[in-house]
Amino acid sequence: MLPGSSLVAIGSPIRSRGVHAWLLGFALAALLPASAEARSIRPPVAGNWEGKGTHGLSLSFQLGRIRSRIRLQALAVTVPVGCPATVRDAVALASTSAVYAGPRAAPPGLSHPLLSKPGTIGLSASTPQFPVFLEGRLVSPGRMALTMSTPSGKKVACWPRTLRFITQPAARTAVANGRWSGTLAGANSVTGTVRLDVSGRGRAINSFAFDVRCPDNARGAPNYTYGPDVNGQFIAANGTFSGPAAHSAAPGLQISWQGRFSANAVTGTIVSLGDPCGLGGSQSATFTARHA
């Protein structure tokens, strides 16, 4: 059996210095009417926003309108969990339990984050790993400059303390949340299945797993299995993704994958499988999956 990926603990040791202020701000939202200055600021445009940040980190979110008010409908961001400071040592966190604070914010969002000036944007999201908080300047209705605190701990000491992102509206391939499943095929009649779980309105893969059946076992139980790898993989605006994160692979394991979502399917390749069926040489495979 091929070893699966272990989940890097990114829960309680990771803290944001802005957590308490944000929570207090949400509790007081109904008590703090927007000032005249805040009401005069043009709000950000609704739709999908994409951005790049420190050392290639990614940020994606969706703003929606409820009448004249704006709500944060989904958010995904890659955060560091190891060194060196590259995107290979970062995982994606995604959520649809999110709140926007800024001009024309729908409750429970404020007209601007607590203790900040009008024109400041705040984005928060609750993820299974830990809360995400971003704050920054609304440069224009089509541009934001946002920051968030880097997770704490020795494992991420090589990263700067503050992560910075520039975001703007952009088109995004629509990917359905939930389970995707399909088949895997390699050379010499190697077969198998693949399973993915998507969240954040198509912005991250929460789980990736596959199994392999050797040529003489086309219908039996899998000969080898991998995963699930539950270290989040970011889905780019064009639908592409790759894995695993460098820190999540077992020592000596070289397996990697990449793929691309379209509206109705996801296709990709898995390489460096080793030789699980004794066929000679390291094997690779292609996969195709659809929303379950």
What domains lie within the chain, and their CATH numbers? 19-169 (2.40.128), 178-291 (2.40.128)
pLDDT digits (tens, 9 = 90+) for 182-211: 999 998 899 999 999 999 999 999 999 999
pLDDT at 110: 80
pLDDT at 43 over 60: yes
* Residue 243, C-beta contacts closer than 8 angstroms, at least 6 positions apart: 205, 208, 229, 231, 233, 256, 257, 258
Task: Decide which of 183 and 8 is more confident.
Answer: 183
pLDDT digits (tens, 9 = 90+) for 167-178: 999 999 999 999
pLDDT at 12 over 60: no
Q: What is the DSSP string of the chain?
A: ----PPPP--STT---TTHHHHHHHHHTGGG-PPPHHHHHSPPPPSEEEEEEEGGG-EEEEEEEEETTEEEEEEEEEEEE-SSSSSGGGEEEEEES-EEEESTTBPTT--SS-TTS-TTEEEEEEE-SS-EEEEEEEEEETTEEEEEEEPPPSGGGTTS-SEEEEEEEE-------SEEEEEEEEEGGG-EEEEEEEEETTTTEEEEEEEEEE-TT-SSSS-SEEEEEE-S-EE--TTSEEEE--GGGSPTT---EEEEEE-SS-EEEEEE----TTSSSS---EEEEEEE-
- The pLDDT mean for the chain works out to 85
* Structure-token match 């040489």, residue found: 281
pLDDT at 28: 38
pLDDT at 286: 97
Residue 205 β-bridge partners: 198, 233
pTM of the model: 0.85
